[in-house]
Amino acid sequence: MEIIQNDQIKEKVYIDILDNGMKIIIIPKENTEKKYIIWGTKFGSIDNHFIEPKTGKEIKVPDGVAHYLEHKMFEQENGVDSLYKLMSLGLDANAYTTNDHTAYLFGGTNNFYEGLDELMDYVQHPYFTDENVEKERGIIGQEIGRYDDEPTWKLYVNMMDCLYTNNPIKLDIAGTVESISQITKETLYSCYNTFYHPSNMIMCISGNFNPEQILEEVKKRLLPREKIGEIKRIYPPYENKINKKIKEQKMDVNIPLFITGFRDILENENKVKKQIAIEIILNSLIGKSSKIYQEMYNEGLLMSPLDFDHEFSDEYSHIIISGQSENPEKVNEKIVNVLINSEIRNEDFWRSKRALYGEYLSEYDDVETIGRMFLQDSIRGINSLEYIDVFKNIDLQYVNRIKKEIFKEDMSALSIVRK
């Protein structure tokens, strides 16, 4: 196994690429009884158009397939629901689908190996029939309906519609009632056989483990799979402009919700360094200790700090800033103005950098947080320990350069949900 480590935070991580191509990341944590495992596949909502490796056939699947497949994986041929089986063992089990990956996970202090048996059994044994696929259609249709009535979700989806014209990130992860009506058992098996191949999967395990022993436990539970070629995903042409400046929707909310968004241009920039710089920019200029936040709070424009996030992959990158305000247009104007026109002062830079460093360190302490972090970063080609080393090399000049490159008026948009 390859060993990567960071002496500064006393973390050592073991990585192995198995003969079948699967990547296993083991993060030993000696001073805890909690154990955690997350098994992910690089198959998300944006992966709806691809070349099937075995046949060379071009496949276009209905929107929402990755999420539909996640739902169906728990149902076994013997009638057992593996999610309930894991929970009956006292394990905190779940699964989720994002834009770029799907993951199955559980954590707990006892019955880990019984849970590992169940996890590796159901993920490797799909069971789809015409009947159970049809049954799931109604369940997911109801879920889609609930999300359609959720103001914060519609706020986000509308922002993606503002920022992108053709990029599949603007599609709802669960699809639509119409799109899921086209999903069949053949669709699910085609996607499973393509994207759930070990060569497209990553497993992260964190807790009080001997790396060599837990690796062997995983390997003996893996089923042999025929090798497949490279999965060739097909995405729309790259866009270098936003779709629309503003989108507004009326829903049942007491105070208007808003998201200010910025499209980021995909470029050959160190992902980790850029991510850290963006966090420093946002904390320095619009964080709860910033001058502009204090002004908006005192004016009654904001009642609580803004939330912000940088979402990115090889196919999309954007910054979203969200909050509540009786005057979202005014808040948006102030946010855009300060991010575009203000330089970050040296004292604000160091204040934000120190605060963020403390937050980063805390993320390495929890077995669940570090396990999920390593999976999500690995999907994006990032070594999670790299953040600590890169952090030291971030300077004010670099941060201000990134600010000028990203935050531009013609790449900003506003999404509002109000009554």
Q: Would you name the residues annotated as active-site residues? A: 70
**Which residues does 98 contact at the CB level (< 8 Å), separation at least 6?**
44, 45, 173
Amino acid at 177: V
Amino acid at 8: Q
Tokens of 399: 């941060």
Altogether, the residues listed in the chain come to a count of 419
Amino acid at 315: E
Could you tell me if 53 and 230 are in contact, meaning their C-beta atoms sit under 8 angstroms apart?
A: yes
Amino acid at 330: K
List phi, psi (to 5°) of 167: -60, 135
Report helix, strand or coil for 370.
helix
Beta strands across the sheet bearing 58-60: 58-60, 49-51, 232-233
Could you tell me if 413 and 246 are in contact, meaning their C-beta atoms sit under 8 angstroms apart?
A: yes
Give the H or E element holding residue 337: helix 328-341
Is the C-alpha dihedral spanning 323, 329, 332, 334 positive or negative?
A: negative
Amino acid at 393: N
Could you tell me if 319 and 336 are in contact, meaning their C-beta atoms sit under 8 angstroms apart?
A: no
CA–CA separation, 413 vs 419, rounded Å?
A: 20
Q: Please choose, from the candidates 380, 22, 25, 379, the residue with its C-alpha nearest in 3D space to the C-alpha of residue 199.
A: 22
Q: How far is CA 327 from CA 115, 157, 333, 353, in A?
A: 50, 21, 10, 31
CA–CA separation, 51 vs 193, rounded Å?
A: 12
Amino acid at 238: Y
Taking each helix axis from N to C terminus, what angle separates 185-195 and 130-148, rounded to the nearest 10 degrees? 80
